[in-house]
């Protein structure tokens, strides 16, 4: 998830340069703003969470929405990984240092990467509507059906853990966004 | 440019995982917890009553309607009407019967999130107290009264 943004040295705020004479006066205003990248992370991740919850609820969506949403989630997963690639590299490098703080998060994220990727890939392999609609005929083997069911169950367990391990970042950004929207940022 | 480089790297990682999945399906098409013959399922007479998703019925067994569907079962399935546009039937989404499924998924996730947040907050508090050198007082001991 996007939690790593909260750990950056130049994180949650952005705005015009503070070096200008009006810098001091505008500093409070800048503080009230949430960085565009942070907002993107927050809302994009929220959309992925909501999307996965809906896609997992097969009885709610039906096969057509389930399949298209799953394909969309595959693309979103790739973008999410891209947006946080710096964190992946940084944390992987620090993994073997004795003071690596993010080992648990790294392991959960790795497991989630495997589970979600295999879930989407097996879903594509057993697609009955979306890909045949595009003229692509799929594998439909029993292995892929079972892998899809298994990885979906693993993913539904790991997604909330992945979210919850960054709850401080989510709570912080959520509070800032709410204050920003309401225009009631504390002075 | 940097984004494209990162996108390519992420795509390679995803492709590697997909390749692992493909190799798995070719070399050892068996999942954790499965016996050599796959999932066990009950057969009453010659009718398969509990067929796992995607599993083929044994020779001669009659396949009841709805067996072999993915988790969630048949109620939400919509078929392509043959017009080239999938029949979404979006109105069905708002039916209370279907909403229960969504509510259950959301509830499941909320419970796991709450459990992890409580555990993490407790762990952080304990670590902070240990670092400060004053651990939390043992249960049942109060100060001042």
Compute the nearest-CA separation of B92 from chain A (Å): 8
Q: Which two tokens stand for residue B135?
A: 């651990």
Give every CB contact of residue A84 below 8 A, 6+ residues apart in sequence. Answer: A2, A4
Which residues of chain B neighbour A171 with C-beta distances below 8 Å? none
**Contact B78/A at CB under 8 A:** yes
- Going residue by residue through chain B, which has 145 residues, state the pLDDT in tens, using 9 for 90 and above: 889 999 999 999 999 999 999 998 888 777 776 654 444 444 444 344 445 555 555 555 544 444 444 444 444 434 433 444 444 556 566 677 788 889 999 999 999 999 999 998 998 888 888 888 765 555 555 554 3
**Cα-atom radius of gyration of chain A, to the nearest Å?**
20
Does the residue A54 lie in any domain? yes
pTM value is 0.70
Average pLDDT of the residues in A19-45: 68
Pinpoint the alpha helices (H) of A57-102: 58-83, 85-93
Partner-chain contact A121 B29, CB within 8 Å:
no
Question: Which residues sit opposite B35 in a β-bridge?
Answer: B38
Q: Which two tokens stand for residue B126?
A: 């304990």
Question: Do the interacting molecules here have an ipTM over 0.85?
Answer: no
Which DSSP letter does residue B47 get? E
With 0-12 / 13-18 / 19 or more C-beta atoms within 10 angstroms meaning exposed / middle / buried, residue A48 is buried
pLDDT in tens, A87-137: 999 988 888 776 656 788 999 999 999 999 999 999 999 998 888 888 888
Does the residue A35 lie in any domain? yes
CA dist B97 and B81 (Å) reads 23
CA dist B125 and B136 (Å) reads 9
3-state secondary structure at position A134: coil
Question: Which comes out higher in pLDDT, residue A8 or A137?
Answer: A137
Does the residue A187 lie in any domain? no
pLDDT attached to residue A30: 52
Does the residue A99 lie in any domain? yes
pLDDT attached to residue B14: 96
CATH of the domain at A10: 1.20.950
Does the residue A69 lie in any domain? yes
pLDDT > 70 in chain A, percent: 78
Does the residue A130 lie in any domain? yes
Partner-chain contact B87 A64, CB within 8 Å:
yes
Q: What is the separation of C-alpha B127 from the centre of its chain, rounded to a whole number of angstroms?
A: 33
**Nearest of A112, A57, A60, A58 to residue A84 by alpha carbon:** A112
Partner-chain contact A63 B77, CB within 8 Å:
yes
Partner-chain contact B105 A53, CB within 8 Å:
yes
* Contact (CB, 8 A) for B14 and A116: no
Partner-chain contact A164 B116, CB within 8 Å:
yes
**Contact B108/A at CB under 8 A:** yes
Residues 41-70 of B with CB under 8 A from A: 52-56, 70
**How many domains does chain A divide into?**
1
């Amino acid at each position: 998830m996007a939690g790593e943004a909260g750990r950056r040295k130049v994180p949650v705020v952005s705005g015009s340069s503070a070096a200008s004479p009006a810098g001091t006066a505008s500093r409070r205003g800048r503080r009230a703003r949430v960085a565009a990248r942070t907002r993107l992370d927050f809302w994009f991740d929220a959309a992925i969470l909501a999307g996965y919850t809906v896609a997992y609820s097969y009885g709610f969506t039906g096969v057509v929405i389930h399949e298209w949403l799953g394909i969309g989630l595959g693309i979103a997963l790739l973008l999410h990984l891209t947006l946080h690639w710096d964190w992946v590299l940084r944390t992987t490098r620090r993994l073997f240092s004795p003071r690596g703080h993010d080992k648990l998060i790294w392991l959960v994220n790795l497991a989630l990467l495997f589970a979600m990727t295999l879930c989407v890939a097996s879903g594509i392999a057993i697609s009955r509507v979306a890909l045949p609609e595009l003229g692509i005929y799929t594998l439909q083997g029993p292995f892929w059906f079972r892998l899809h069911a298994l990885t979906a169950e693993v993913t539904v367990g790991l997604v909330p853990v992945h979210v919850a391990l960054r709850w401080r970042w989510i709570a912080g950004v959520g509070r800032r966004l709410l204050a920003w929207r309401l225009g009631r940022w504390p002075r | 440019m940097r984004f494209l480089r990162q996108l390519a790297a992420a795509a390679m990682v995803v492709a590697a995982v997909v390749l692992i999945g493909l190799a798995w399906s070719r070399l050892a098409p068996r999942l954790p917890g499965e016996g050599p013959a796959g999932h066990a399922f009950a057969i009453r007479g010659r009718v398969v009553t509990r067929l796992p998703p995607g599993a083929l019925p044994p020779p001669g067994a009659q396949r009841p309607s709805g067996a072999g569907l993915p988790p969630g079962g048949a109620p939400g399935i919509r078929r392509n009407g043959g017009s080239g546009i999938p029949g979404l039937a979006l109105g069905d989404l708002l039916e209370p019967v279907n909403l229960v499924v969504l509510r259950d998924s959301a509830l499941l996730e909320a419970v796991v999130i709450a459990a992890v947040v409580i555990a993490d907050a407790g762990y952080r508090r304990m670590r902070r107290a240990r670092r400060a050198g004053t651990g939390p007082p043992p249960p049942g001991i109060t100060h001042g009264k």
